[in-house]
Amino acid sequence: MAKGENIFKRKDGRWEGRYIKGYELSGKIKYGFCYGKTYKQAKEKVTQAKAALINGKPIPSSGARHRLGYYCDEWLRCMKSKVKESTYIKYEGILEKHIKPKLGECFPLGMSTGLIESFTSELLDESKLSPKTVKDILVVLRSILKFTAKQTPGVFPQIEIVYPKEKKKEMRVLSQEEQTRFVDYLLEDMDNCKLGVLLALNSGLRIGELCALHWDDISLRERTIRIQATMQRIRDTSATSEAKTKVIIGTPKSDNSVRTIPMTKNMESLCKRYRDMEPGVYILTGAEKFMEPRALQYRMQKYTEDCGLDGVHFHTLRHTFATRCVEVGFEIKSLSEILGHANTTITLERYVHSSMELKRSNMTKLEAVGL
């Protein structure tokens, strides 16, 4: 039984791949043969043999080469000293959950664009992963293939990786009426946690940045907030720990995320009421014990339910802050730096949401020129 061009399943259960190896003087075709336990393995060997013939190289022996899974592990080992612990664990998860189970047994020289397209389709259609998640997996795979190409003797195949298109989501932004209602709620029976949420709404802080924020990071004299740490919960890979996850505090998301944010006078006044002069005290708790992002998300859910706000998450505050800034004519470069972005393109594409009121206001400007 054949599956694909010149690839057959033998009676002994193996797959046999056939390719044109050359021609006899009579013009008769000379065939070469490759074998594998699966169709995919046979196909890889045939592709590799054809590539070797085209480039005038000897046909490599598959038994002498490592499979992709080996190069995945080597790549990850090299990355350990180059990236943050959280990034390393993310990479490790992508390899163990997706890349190695599906591609780990492949021979690198036998891989092709078609194989990667099939892998992408499996992730999207069978595993039901989002385009964003699949793109993250493919970015890691591309890096591994580049690493493998440098380590692998012979001509490495030209492989094109096409990232799936992400559907642009309309992010939730509080209207001015909703924001006023939410602020009034937070000001009533204020505590440290509500103060922190207000701080995020008025400065665009990420949830991890707020959870890691100490009173030492706020200068009432300069009226600024210094962002130099972030908190997150990650998988615990230590052999001695019984817990599956752990909370870590490290440097922010990127170099641009280390920043100083000016405060409004209203926020300065609120901070003065709750300022604790003890060193090492967290803003959200008023104590040396922190509140982790997951706990803050639960608090946020309660706050929004009490206010009757639907579809609001903590990151909604960041989008709302950016949108309000644009509505009042904020200079985009300054806004980008306050949000901790690498460039203004990220700010404009991801965080600026023009309200209908602002659009209508801009359209009325045409009336000034008679249009």
Shared domain for 88 and 151, answered yes or no, is yes
The CA distance from 189 to 206, in Å, is: 24
163 Cβ contact list (under 8 Å, min separation 6):
131, 134, 135, 138, 139
Nearest to 95 by CA among 77, 75, 72: 72
**What residues make up the domain containing 252?**
176-364
Total structural domains within the chain: 3
Residue ranges in the chain whose pLDDT is less than 70: 1-5, 23-27, 55-65, 153-154, 239-241, 276-277, 351-363, 365-371
CA-to-CA separations, 200 to 197, 207, 320, 338, in angstroms, rounded:
5, 8, 10, 12
Which pLDDT score is estimated for 239? 62
The predicted pLDDT at position 59 comes to 56
Environment class of 126 (CB within 10 Å of its CB; exposed 0-12, middle 13-18, buried 19+): exposed
152 with 299, same domain: the answer is no
Co-location of 158 and 193 in the same domain: no
**For helices 131-151 and 85-94, what crossing angle results, to 10°?**
90
The last residue of a domain, from among 167, 199, 233 = 167
- For 189, left (φ over 0), alpha (ψ -120 to 50), or beta? left
Same domain? 102 vs 137 = yes
Final residue before a domain boundary, out of 167, 194, 212 = 167
**Cβ neighbours for 90, distance < 8 A, ≥ 6 positions apart:** none
Please name which of 71, 81, 203, 206 lies closest in space to residue 147, comparing C-alpha atoms. 71
Whether 307 contacts 175, CB under 8 Å: no
- The predicted pLDDT at position 2 comes to 47
What's the pLDDT at 100? Answer: 94
Specify whether 101 is located in the same domain as 38: no
Q: What is the pTM of this model?
A: 0.71
**Which CATH number fits the domain that encloses residue 284?**
1.10.443.10
**206 three-state secondary structure:** coil
pLDDT at site 64: 42
Residue 26 is predicted with a pLDDT of: 58
